[in-house]
Amino acid sequence: MDYVLTADALTKQYGHFKALDKLTMRVPKGAVYGLVGKNGAGKTTLIRLVCGLQAPSSGSYAIYGRKDTDRDIAKSRRRMGAVVETPSVYLDLSATDNLKEQFRVLGLPSFEGIPELLRLVGLEDAGKKKVKNFSLGMRQRLGIAVALAGDPDFLVLDEPVNGLDPQGIIEIRELVLKLNRERQITVLISSHILDELSRLATHYGFIDQGRLVREISAKELEAACRKCTRLTVSSSAALVPVLDRLGLEYSVISDTEADIYGEINLTELALALAEQNCEIKSIQEHHESLESYYVNLIGGGHE
Partner 1 sequence: MNKLLSANFSRLIKNKAFLVSMACMLVFGVFISVKSYMNQIQYGTSFLVDNIFFGYAAVIPILCAAFCSLFTGTEYSDGTIRNKIIAGHSRASVYLANLLTCSAACLLMGLIYMAAVGAVGIPLLGAFHVDLKIVAVFVLDSFAMILSLSAVFVLLSMLNQNKAAVVAVSLIAVILLFVAASYVQNRLSAPEFYDGYVFTDSAGNSQTQSIPNPEYLRGNSRTIHEFLMDFLPTGQAIQIANMSAPRLWQMPMYSLIIVAGTTAGGLLAFRKKDLK
Query: Interface with partner 1 by CB under 8 A: which residues?
Result: 14, 48, 51-55, 74-75, 77-78, 80-82, 84-93, 97, 100-102, 104-107, 146-147, 150
Q: How far is the CB of 144 from partner 1 (least distance, A)?
A: 12
Taking the least distance from each CB to partner 1, the nearer of 34 and 81 is 81
Pairing of strands 3-14, 17-28: antiparallel
Q: How far is the CB of 85 from partner 1 (least distance, A)?
A: 7
Taking the least distance from each CB to partner 1, the nearer of 53 and 271 is 53
Q: Could you give the CA distance from residue 65 to residue 59 in angstroms, rounded to a whole number?
A: 15
Q: How far is the CB of 44 from partner 1 (least distance, A)?
A: 9
Long-range pairs of 123-131 with CB within 8 A, sequence gap ≥ 24: 123/95, 126/95, 127/94, 127/95, 127/96, 128/94, 128/95, 128/96, 129/94, 129/95, 130/91, 130/92, 130/93, 130/94, 131/89, 131/90, 131/91, 131/92, 131/93, 131/94, 131/95, 131/98
Taking the least distance from each CB to partner 1, the nearer of 148 and 164 is 148
Q: How far is the CB of 176 from partner 1 (least distance, A)?
A: 18
Taking the least distance from each CB to partner 1, the nearer of 92 and 275 is 92
> Residue 154: beta bridge partners?
80, 186
Taking the least distance from each CB to partner 1, the nearer of 179 and 273 is 179
Q: Which amino acid is at 105?
A: V
Q: How far is the CB of 125 from partner 1 (least distance, A)?
A: 22
